[in-house]
Amino acid sequence: MKTASAIALALGVLLAVAAPALAPAQTDCLACHGDMTLQDASGHSVGVDAHTFAASLHGSLPCTACHTTIKEYPHPEKVTPVECQSCHADQATGLAGSVHAKASAQPCLSCHGNAHAIFSKDDPRSAVYPLNIPRTCGSCHGDPALAKKYGLANVYSLYMDSIHGFALSREGLLVAANCQSCHGSHHILSHTNPQSPTSKSNVPKTCGGCHAGIAAGYAFGVHGKAVAAGNLKAPVCTDCHTAHAILQPTEAAFRMQSTPICGSCHQDKLSTYRDTFHSQLGGLGGYVQTARCWDCHGAHEILPASDPRSPVNHANLVKTCGRCHAGANLSFVQYQPHANARDRKLNPALYFIRLFMNLLLIGTLTFFVIHTILWLIRSRYSQIKTRSAEGGKNG
Amino acid sequence: MDDLEAAAAESWEHEEKEGRHFLRFTRGQRLLHATLFTTFLGLAATGLPMRFSESVWARGLARAVGGFGAILFFHKLCAVVLTLAFLIHVRDIVTRAFIHREKGIFWGANSMVASWKDVKDLFGHIRWFLGLGPRPQFDRYSYWEKFDYWAVFWGMVVIGFSGYAMWFAPFFAHFLPGWALNAVLVIHSEEGLLAILFIFSIHFVNTHLRPDTFPMDMVIFTGIESEEEFKTKRPKEYQRLAAEGKLEARLAEAPGIWQLNFSRVVGFTAVAIGLILLVLTLSAYFWH
């Protein structure tokens, strides 16, 4: 009994002596800050949910590990902001060079959420868990006012309606591309910066990070080779698929929008395609089965027609056309899907047939329009004459 | 009751005053025309959106009938019905001419084949337009009516053949060279356009909308016209039949009021649809 009280006394003395030198333990802080209704002088909540904090990534750290300027109790009314970079130096460096460097007073918390409820990015409770990222980024990038202010597209809604957005939000697919899959996380750069994974020359590599097979085919095709050679006029993934509103390519909407995209560069091919049945039938909503550019040319591994591996190489046409036109033979594939009836040198037969049909149309109509107009005038004239002779209303 | 009887008597008297009526077109001929204009309107309404697929109204129209699959289906349906009507007509001509040895199918006043008189009538008519001569005396079929007939006949062969060549392209490729598959679309659309522009402007005005027949010549719907119409429109035929004593054989009862009203509804609907399509076509041409 005597021994026990002696130890207790010794401990008490030791604690009393040591206390001013040691930082306050979590429990000491939570004695006040555990009250969720606690507010500072300016009305900001300074309460901490002790349970959530204990479960969070930083739960094992003492409060002063982050709130480094607090040395004693009672602490001053004004405390300096927490500096995450004292531990997370790499991320802070990345952020400082990114488009978000000046985006917010507390840039870390903008994305990572409540400072006392930070979880691992693999934890569904985390604001940066893959399935939560679009909503986190969307809290700013889904705001039309902000989009307008910075001249950005309202990318959140575009993304959420895209094939990636569907996979993520509807299927909960963790591997579906979310914002940071393409843009990165801390060191996010403008697509105009050549270092950015979303800069035009880097797009094939960025998308290829998941779509490796497509990327290999693309690199093999004319567009991929041109981009690799530094010709940035050639299309990369996003030029055809768009960056955020990416659709399932078999979807009607994509089949409808894609031809003009190819045509924005291949204007002469688009105008001749427009003259054909494929386009006339396919140009209207609802009927999307008719051949679009890539149905014949391929989508990613596009090769010149002179290449024997190209689906539009003469040796492969029976097979390529036959995919839609059952029974296509060698004569059938002589059909020219880009014939130009206005070009006498290129398609003389077609040119003269069109000329004949036009002359027939213009000739017939011109003759009969004159004939009919003369007839109308003469009929009306004799009608009035007859009526006036009879003392009618025109008399 | 008295009022009703008086009204009936009055209308009878009115009918009597209208005088004699004559049959111009048989039921078969009227049915052929009805089939022709119904399917033609259908073909035009579904064909034009394809020809001008980039125009705003084309997409709207396609959506309205249930997408483009539906438009193509109706186009083909009308084409098949019209083809059947055409074949029945051709069979009828062949049977009458070669089996029954009917005279006057390929020549003479009742024939659709052009004659020297038609050339003279054309020039005579133009002289009359310009006030340089008397109005030609037309027989059963005038030169512009014969032109309408042959324009449709030629159009049917050309548009029909090129249409089927596209519909069954791999089959036709067994007989046709590859470039012909390019040509058939040009031919089909240009000839179709000519037919549409011609029917919805020239035919409508020449036959229905000109002052002498305005607003509509009912004879193609009822088959029957008044003696006065017969005499002024086709004096040559009237005189010929009178001289041959065959006029009475063509006598017919005046068309009933229901028949006239039904014909008016159908006729004006067809003309209205045609004129709308004409405006759309011209708008696509000039504001594309």
Contact A347 B182 (CB under 8 A): yes
Among chain B residues, CA nearest to A341 = B186
Cα A346 to Cα B98: distance, rounded to the nearest angstrom: 48
Q: Which of residues 125-154 of B touch A (CB under 8 A)?
A: 125-126, 128-131, 144, 151
- Which residues on B lie below 8 Å from A392 (Cβ)? none
pLDDT band for position A383 (cuts 50, 70, 90): confident
Chain A residue with CA closest to B62: the answer is A284
- Which SS3 state, helix, strand or coil, does residue A39 take? strand
- pLDDT per residue over A54-70, tens digit each? 899 998 898 888 988 88
Cα–Cα distance for residue pair A254/A261, rounded to 1 Å: 10
Lowest mean pLDDT among A11-15, A171-175, A227-231: A11-15
- pLDDT, one tens digit per residue, over B207-256 is 988 888 888 889 999 999 999 999 999 999 999 999 999 999 999 988 88
Contact A140, A152 (CB under 8 A): no
Q: Which of A282, A286, A350 sits opposite B179 (nearest CB)?
A: A350
**Other CB atoms within 10 A of residue A367 CB:** 12
What pLDDT sits at residue B6?
A: 56
**Which residues on A lie below 8 Å from B178 (Cβ)?**
331-336
pLDDT tens-place string over residues B55-83: 888 888 888 887 777 888 999 999 999 99
Q: What is the pLDDT of residues A165-206, one digit of tens each?
A: 999 999 999 999 999 999 999 999 999 999 999 999 999 999
Min distance A274 CA to chain B CA atoms (Å) = 9
| Nearest CB to B67; choose among A275, A285, A375 | A285
Minimal CA–CA distance to A68: which of A84, A50, A48? A84
Whether residue B163 has pLDDT greater than 90: yes
Q: Is B53–A279 a contact, with Cβ atoms under 8 angstroms apart?
A: yes
**Predicted confidence (pLDDT) per residue in A83-137, tens digit:** 898 899 999 999 989 988 887 777 888 899 888 999 999 999 999 999 999 999 9
A-B CB pairs within 8 A amount to: 153
Using a 10 angstrom Cβ sphere, with 0-12 exposed, 13-18 middle and 19 or more buried, the burial of residue A163 is middle
Inter-chain contact A374–B129, Cβ cutoff 8 Å?
Answer: yes
Which pLDDT does position B274 carry in this prediction?
Answer: 95
Cα atoms in the 13 Å half-sphere on the side-chain side of A278: 25
Chain B contacts of A368, Cβ < 8 Å?
198, 202, 206
For residue B237 the two structure tokens come to 């035929």
B209-217 long-range contacts, Cβ below 8 Å, gap at least 24? B209/B271, B210/A372, B210/A375, B210/A376, B210/A379, B211/A376, B211/A379, B211/A380, B211/A383, B212/A379, B212/A383, B215/B268, B216/B264, B216/B267, B216/B268, B216/B271
- Model ipTM? 0.89
Specify the pLDDT at position A394: 44
Per-residue confidence (pLDDT) for residue A21, from 0 to 100: 40
Please tell me which of the candidates A284, A331, A360 has its beta carbon nearest to residue B177: A331
Whole-prediction pTM value? 0.79
User: Nearest CB to B178: which of A280, A331, A368?
Assistant: A331
Neighbours of B173 (CB within 10 A): 24
Question: Strands, E, within A117-200: which ranges?
Answer: none
What tokens appear for B177 in the block? 């060279």
Residue of A nearest to B133 (CA): A378
Q: Is B54 on the interface with A (CB under 8 A)?
A: yes
